[in-house]
Structure 1
Amino acid sequence: MLYKTFKSTTLGLAAGLFGSFCLWAGVAAADGKFSDLAHARWAEDSIQYLSNRGTVAGLGNGRFQPDGAVTRGQAVTFIMRELYSQGLPKGEASFTDVPRSHPFRLEIAAAAAAGLAGGFPDGSFHPDAPVTRAETAALLTRAYALEAGDGSSKLADTSSSWAAAPIGIMSSNGLIGGYADGTYRPDRTVTRAEFAVFLTRVIRFERETAIQAKDWDKLLSYMTLNEQVGQMLMPDIRMWNGQPTTTVNDGLKDIIHTQAPGGFILFDKNIVNAQQVATLTDRLQAEAGDIPLFLGVDQEGGVIKRIPGGTNLPGQMALGAAGDAALTEAAGKLTGEELKALGLQLNFAPDLDVNSNPENPIIGMRSFGSDPDLVSRLGLAAMKGLKEAGVIAAVKHFPGHGDTTVDSHLGLPVLMHDRDRLEAVELKPFRAAIASGVDMIMTAHIAFPAVDDEHVVSLKDGSSVPIPATMSKKVLTGLLREELGFKGVIVSDAFTMNGIAAHFGEAQAVVRAVSAGVDIILMPQDPSTAQRTLVQAVRNGSVPLDHIHDAVKRILDLKSRYGLFDQGPSLPAKLASLKGIIGSDAHRQVERTIAERAVTLLAGRDGKHPDLIRHGDRIVIAAADEAQAKQLENQLALEGEPEQLKTRVATLNQPKEAIAAIDGADYVIVASYQFRNVASQFDWSGTQAVIDELNRTNTRYALLSLGNPYEMLYVRNVKSGLAAYGKEEPNTEAAVRTLLGRMDPLGVLPVAS
């Protein structure tokens, strides 16, 4: 007999071994899609599933031969590849008809050693004989220690079979079915296609059982190493063959099925409108199978936003100026509601960087401000709002990006502060977030010598460069995990940024980041290379397998806690709900309230108000570019009395023309926008020239700060000025209403100036 009686002690042995199974990539490499499945479409999904797992490799030349019989040797090999892909149990094939030259000798010997297969009384195994349906049920039931399910088994011809018990167990769990006449035909030979379907059903059944029980160790035992590492990768899909990715194309499907990424980050190029992005996320999840995708986005509000047609919140520094935790929580909640309606469950926000350096070229008004207590208080409120809406908050950029003069998208910043200063400023909001149970923290591509002074050789120019936090075990494991006690998921900042990309090769960077403590690599430059590199690192011992398991369990647990495994509403139901959520009247009202509460007086002749626009004024708008000037002109027309307001536009980068344009004006709006550059290196000359001329002629005006609100540090003798913290509606609407005297500037400048 190939299989011993069902109640033999080998069942107990298989069950005992089960807990230690840890699936790596299959012994046999998958050959990709097979060309001979035209008449086996019913089994194609199962065959491809096992091929992707490395369990079946076909017969070469792209053929699978689905109608061919499964031999006893092949059946054992398929099972052993699934159960012992990290290394077969030691055993020697003592069967008389399994010579050393037999292609499945090792698997047959291992199966015999594990008690999963036995031979015939004459010492033979018959490795090339076909397997029956009864033998298949017995082998799968024993190998996976299956127990009876809640279903009934009413197969007409199995009661007298030697395999009646395992057939009944398989049937009661819905893993096998009979023919139209109610029979199972246990002695019938099983084809390769049928065996693939049976095996796939069992694997998926066991995975689903583990998911329902939240038994992540068990689920890991059914995940290949490729799958496990895939969970730790979160690529972007902005472009596909030179075109924006707005639908799920065949190439993207193939990546999901073969690389099993843990999620994707979406950008504005992926998003056309609410209906389209809700459809895109729904289709992505449909392709993902039993482990859902993290689908994330940077929706900070203000200058960093991705959702067209959604509520355009004024931004974090506007919230800092308003200083209201309840309003910040409302902003977080409405952001979460809109993201969740679109199928996005992860927001890379809020930004917990303390923007203590006016020269910072990348954070600026993305921060709540320069006071660590304010950043902590409002950061916790934003986190709370997102969580109330069922969206994961990924706070950033640990240990702090607020006091740098280098943009980590372009280079590698180094923060030279000592540990006491880091504790007092940079780390304070992150400590507060961890104490409040934050679920995910994003790392910074910044070096912190006070925590880790290691240097490595740059691949860019051979120089010695400090190790960034993303790749530092002292920062991520020593400081974040062990000292601060963070138990959640650590996600890196984008690996396409030059803080990483310019100095470290993809292979070195990925391995070092994961070894340091990163759970998710965000936007690897080449996802397939990153995946192969990590798989190889595990196999050669560079990265311990337990390290991968710990990371994947944190990821799976977070997905479960936020309901990603749960059955959501249908796509039609999702689409029908969008109109009442995305940019709803209630959300717009919160947006307007924040913008109005944020407007801050920078300078006023009476100390309370800027110079105000009067009825019938001839107004000139001088801005950084004509588009900005036109936007403000349109805003004035909407808010004012168009027939009474006579407006002209000028640009500040042409000071002589701007000064000529303001000649004869009754009122001038000097619109300043400084962001994504070092403030002291910004060309303030045009702004200064116009301000000097307005002061000389005693013309009423307002310097209107639409970006980082540091103008008062660089522009002298400003008599009237406002900060709006954003160059679009609703920020500009609130600013114009203030200049028209319809509201007072209520905000408090949230940064030192």
Structure 2
Amino acid sequence: MRFKYKITAAAVFGMMMIGLGSAHAETEFVDLQYSKWAEDGIHYMAKRGTVAGYGHGRFQPRTPVTRGQAITFMVRELYPDQLEKPVDHLNYTDVPAAHPFSREIAIAEQQGLAGGFPDGSFRPDAPISRAETAAFLTRAYPLKQGPQSAKWTDTAKHWAASPIQMMSSNGLVGGYADGTYRPDQKVTRAEYAVFMARVIRFEREAAIEAKDWDKLISYMTVSEQVGQMLMPDIRQWNGKATTTINEGLQRSIQDQNVGGLILFEKNIVDAQLTTFTHHIQSQAGDIPLFLGMDQEGGVIRRIPGGTNLPGQMALGAANDPSLAEAAGQLTGEELKALGIQVNFAPVLDINSNPDNPIIGMRSFGSNADLVTRLGLAMMEGLRQSGVVAGVKHFPGHGDTAVDSHLGLPVLAHARERLDAIELKPFKAAIEQGADMIMTAHIAFPAIDNEQVISRKDGTRVPLPATLSRKVLTGLLREELHYQGIIISDAFTMKGIAEHFGETEAVVRAAAAGVDVILMPQDASSAHQALIQAVNNGKLSKERVHEAVKRILTVKSKYNLFEPAPTLTQKLRVLKGIVGAEPHLQVERMIAERAVTVLTGTEGMKSETIRSGDRVVIVASDAEQAAQLQRQLKQTAGSLPLQTVTSVLNSDDMKSIFQTLNKADYVLIASYQFRSVGSQFRWSELQLLVNELNQRQMRYTLLSLGNPYEMLHLQNVHSALAAYGKQEPNTLAAIKVLLGQREPQGKLPVDSGRSAQ
């Protein structure tokens, strides 16, 4: 009867083990109140899918572990792939084919983990002892003699003396207060889970210390591996901005095992970001997170209160690689002080299309050599600061008239053109050792002309680069020999989201060569889709392994595995870095060197503001007009001026014209960005320019956005470009308008008609 009970318990346990590793496996248990010492180890092994409960939240921590159960734990941990393969028949007299652990015992024997007894039995239902546990674990894991000394009074002549000593020397097992080890004592489920957890964590730590990423990956579950390939955003949870650790953030880190997170303005409140990122990393376990941000400078800027760089096109107008490198370095220094290790910059797209609605002044310009020269300098500056530069958007987003946030652009150029223009800066970045390249959600038929059925409307649509194996593996990896991380652009963008479906697109991208999926629409669904794809063979384990190895390699290269400073130390350093005066000097220098004459009077000078002028400022919104008015008054100093602001509105041009009656000088602020250039409301500006010309008034058109006004406006007598509406840019332009500085910039794009 007693033997029958053992078999029944084993059978129940075997049935329970069938579902190990599934999304529904229990990881929380209600019966650990007297086993608190083992709670962490039990949860760790349960999360790995190695141990499980008996249902209804019961783990039964004090129940002895049998030899069959112990072997099952280790086989499912070490050889899960073998469980689906045929196994040889066992000759043990007490392990029939119907035994719930016969397959695991057969695999263990094949792998040399365990054997039977001289009488031909295996004794699968006998409780395992502390000695056998040490023997099993030292056979399973390549442990070496450790530094600790332990001399137990009852192990010297025991058959398991050597494995016990090996485990003890590494601090993985301990004895009792009376100096004994008690090698023949039974091991409970709680104890066995703790022993396994200690060994696995010990081996992972050793792999990290040795930078043996293949070894570390071998100790990572499939869930952990594909989790490293996800980088969701955490802007909000339950309708509220995420600025502290919350349940949603904990789930992403602990349940999806994500490898990184991208942060936005919503995640930042004053100087709290360093504290927030410090606490985020504390949740990450033994593999730190990539924390990333789009801090390009100019129009794409996430950090309030930091250095407000004028942007990449301003750098293009200044055309000084040393300034681009300084911009990259100071940006990286500020990000690193705030706990950010990845900056999705610089933009290496060549803005050769004036109608581009999304790149524009985010680019250095329309010349491939200029973009390459300045892009490499900024990348180097970021690298010197210790921050990963995620250059973007491969193979090139500069010659499109569709925003991939809203649709799926197609770049139909021949391969020869792509090599000469779009690919040029990326090739140079690869040669200079780029560590991360972001893909574009754009189709390139010259490289991959495959089409698929759109989930949006059933039409055939081209495959974007992010999902194209020919682009990412064929071109980027095999032809251009890129070895770093490939990260996708955001998966929330309609260029992907509308046509391909969330889970299908995630799996397609990973199979095509993407190492990190940025901003999946639902991190949990993406995580499960990748696990399922690995399990059903749609995504090979080799593909996942190589992606994770690249991620770990770059994390190590940028010292993410090194001991982090304390929060107090971080906050102390922060005060002297973010918005520091040397950084602000670079900010001002770039802005002042960038101001460019688009068109002007004889000698190509813009009209200046004179003493006593009554100045009317016309802008597209009241906030911009007020900013220019304030800066003009502050910068003019003792120069007597009167200023009036007006908002440009096609429905009220008459009142604007009436305002001009009392003006000596008119400053027109133009801002075109995030719209197709040819579809912008140029008619309002043209009416105003025509009126000013007819009245023969002095004026300057100040371009604060994409500097293509001269393509769309006629007879503009005076125009400057500042390449951004943020304060450093506008202040630099004001100084030129007041005659305090000479404009030094050169237009970095082909605008058709200009001073260049």
Normalised to the residue count of structure 1, the TM-score between the two structures is 0.94
What is residue 428 of structure 1 aligned with on the other side? 424
Residues 28, 421 of structure 1: CA spacing in aligned structure 2 closer, same or farther, 3 A cutoff?
closer
What is residue 16 of structure 2 aligned with on the other side? none
The answer on whether the counterparts of 1:273 and 1:307 sit within 8 Å (CA) in structure 2 is: no
Deviations 1:590-647 (A, max 9, x none): 1011001011111221334311112222111100011111111121222123883222
CA distance in 2, matches of 1:284, 1:93: 50
The answer on whether the counterparts of 2:82 and 2:107 sit within 8 Å (CA) in structure 1 is: no
What is residue 687 of structure 2 aligned with on the other side? 689
What is residue 661 of structure 1 aligned with on the other side? 659
What is residue 12 of structure 2 aligned with on the other side? none
Report deviation, 1:36. 2.1
- Could you tell which deviates more after superposition, 85-94 or 235-244? 85-94
What is residue 157 of structure 2 aligned with on the other side? 160
- Amino acid of the structure 2 residue aligned with 1:668: V
What is residue 647 of structure 2 aligned with on the other side? 651
Report deviation, 1:542. 1.9
Deviations 1:32-71 (A, max 9, x none): 3222223333222221111111111111111212222222
What is residue 335 of structure 1 aligned with on the other side? 331
Instruction: Select the residue among 381, 384, 391 that pairs with 2:387.
Output: 391
CA distance in 2, matches of 1:91, 1:570: 55
Give yes or no for the alignment of 1:203 onto 2:210: no
CA distance in 2, matches of 1:518, 1:28: 24
What pairs with 1:270-289 in structure 2 (closer than 5 Å)? 270-274=267-271, 276-289=272-285
The answer on whether the counterparts of 2:395 and 2:426 sit within 8 Å (CA) in structure 1 is: yes
What is residue 187 of structure 1 aligned with on the other side? 184
Which SS does the other structure have where 1:442 is aligned?
A: strand
What is residue 264 of structure 1 aligned with on the other side? 261
Residues 696, 156 of structure 1: CA spacing in aligned structure 2 closer, same or farther, 3 A cutoff?
farther
Aligned residues: 729
Residues 638, 66 of structure 1: CA spacing in aligned structure 2 closer, same or farther, 3 A cutoff?
farther
What pairs with 1:534-549 in structure 2 (closer than 5 Å)? 534-549=530-545
The answer on whether the counterparts of 1:438 and 1:488 sit within 8 Å (CA) in structure 2 is: yes
Instruction: Select the residue among 38, 44, 58 that pairs with 2:33.
Output: 38
Instruction: Select the residue among 360, 363, 370 that pairs with 1:364.
Output: 360
Report deviation, 1:99. 4.2
CA distance in 1, matches of 2:124, 2:461: 59
What pairs with 1:704-723 in structure 2 (closer than 5 Å)? 704-723=702-721
What pairs with 1:9-48 in structure 2 (closer than 5 Å)? 26=21, 30-48=25-43
What pairs with 1:450-599 in structure 2 (closer than 5 Å)? 450-599=446-595
The answer on whether the counterparts of 2:611 and 2:639 sit within 8 Å (CA) in structure 1 is: no
Deviations 1:424-463 (A, max 9, x none): 1111111111111111111100111111111111111111
Which SS does the other structure have where 1:303 is aligned?
A: coil
Which SS does the other structure have where 2:669 is aligned?
A: strand
Give yes or no for the alignment of 1:749 onto 2:744: no
Report deviation, 1:340. 0.9
Which SS does the other structure have where 2:300 is aligned?
A: coil
Report deviation, 1:492. 0.8
Give yes or no for the alignment of 1:733 onto 2:728: no
- Amino acid of the structure 2 residue aligned with 1:222: Y
Give yes or no for the alignment of 1:69 onto 2:69: no
- Could you tell which deviates more after superposition, 612-621 or 353-362? 612-621
What is residue 8 of structure 2 aligned with on the other side? none
Which SS does the other structure have where 1:423 is aligned?
A: helix
Give yes or no for the alignment of 1:673 onto 2:671: yes
- Could you tell which deviates more after superposition, 531-540 or 667-676? 531-540
What is residue 49 of structure 1 aligned with on the other side? 44
- Amino acid of the structure 1 residue aligned with 2:263: L
Residues 28, 304 of structure 1: CA spacing in aligned structure 2 closer, same or farther, 3 A cutoff?
closer
CA distance in 2, matches of 1:130, 1:234: 44
Instruction: Select the residue among 238, 248, 266 that pairs with 1:251.
Output: 248
CA distance in 2, matches of 1:385, 1:41: 49
The answer on whether the counterparts of 1:232 and 1:552 sit within 8 Å (CA) in structure 2 is: yes
- Amino acid of the structure 1 residue aligned with 2:113: L
CA distance in 2, matches of 1:503, 1:35: 45
The answer on whether the counterparts of 1:444 and 1:493 sit within 8 Å (CA) in structure 2 is: yes
- Could you tell which deviates more after superposition, 165-174 or 350-359? 165-174
The answer on whether the counterparts of 1:156 and 1:183 sit within 8 Å (CA) in structure 2 is: yes
- Could you tell which deviates more after superposition, 662-671 or 170-179? 170-179
Instruction: Select the residue among 603, 608, 612 that pairs with 2:608.
Output: 612
The answer on whether the counterparts of 1:27 and 1:55 sit within 8 Å (CA) in structure 2 is: no
CA distance in 2, matches of 1:367, 1:386: 17
CA distance in 1, matches of 2:659, 2:684: 13
Instruction: Select the residue among 124, 141, 144 that pairs with 2:141.
Output: 144
CA distance in 1, matches of 2:111, 2:743: 77
Residues 180, 619 of structure 1: CA spacing in aligned structure 2 closer, same or farther, 3 A cutoff?
farther
- Amino acid of the structure 2 residue aligned with 1:31: E
- Amino acid of the structure 1 residue aligned with 2:486: I
Report deviation, 1:93. 4.0
CA distance in 2, matches of 1:28, 1:226: 10
What is residue 13 of structure 2 aligned with on the other side? none
- Amino acid of the structure 2 residue aligned with 1:143: A
- Amino acid of the structure 1 residue aligned with 2:324: T
What is residue 18 of structure 1 aligned with on the other side? none
- Amino acid of the structure 2 residue aligned with 1:434: I
CA distance in 1, matches of 2:485, 2:545: 13
Q: For structure 2, list consecutive stretches of 5 or more residues without a partner in the other structure.
A: 1-18, 752-756
- Could you tell which deviates more after superposition, 179-188 or 664-673? 179-188
Which SS does the other structure have where 1:395 is aligned?
A: strand
CA distance in 2, matches of 1:322, 1:180: 74
What is residue 448 of structure 1 aligned with on the other side? 444
Which SS does the other structure have where 1:503 is aligned?
A: helix
Instruction: Select the residue among 215, 223, 227 that pairs with 1:226.
Output: 223
CA distance in 2, matches of 1:40, 1:462: 57
- Amino acid of the structure 2 residue aligned with 1:733: L
- Could you tell which deviates more after superposition, 448-457 or 358-367? 448-457
Which SS does the other structure have where 2:283 is aligned?
A: helix
CA distance in 2, matches of 1:74, 1:251: 35
Q: Percent identity?
A: 65
Which SS does the other structure have where 1:228 is aligned?
A: helix
CA distance in 2, matches of 1:659, 1:36: 80
CA distance in 1, matches of 2:51, 2:716: 74
What is residue 630 of structure 1 aligned with on the other side? 626
Give yes or no for the alignment of 1:724 onto 2:722: yes
Residues 605, 643 of structure 1: CA spacing in aligned structure 2 closer, same or farther, 3 A cutoff?
closer
- Could you tell which deviates more after superposition, 591-600 or 552-561? 552-561
Give yes or no for the alignment of 1:80 onto 2:93: no
CA distance in 2, matches of 1:729, 1:613: 19
Residues 93, 657 of structure 1: CA spacing in aligned structure 2 closer, same or farther, 3 A cutoff?
farther
Residues 86, 28 of structure 1: CA spacing in aligned structure 2 closer, same or farther, 3 A cutoff?
farther
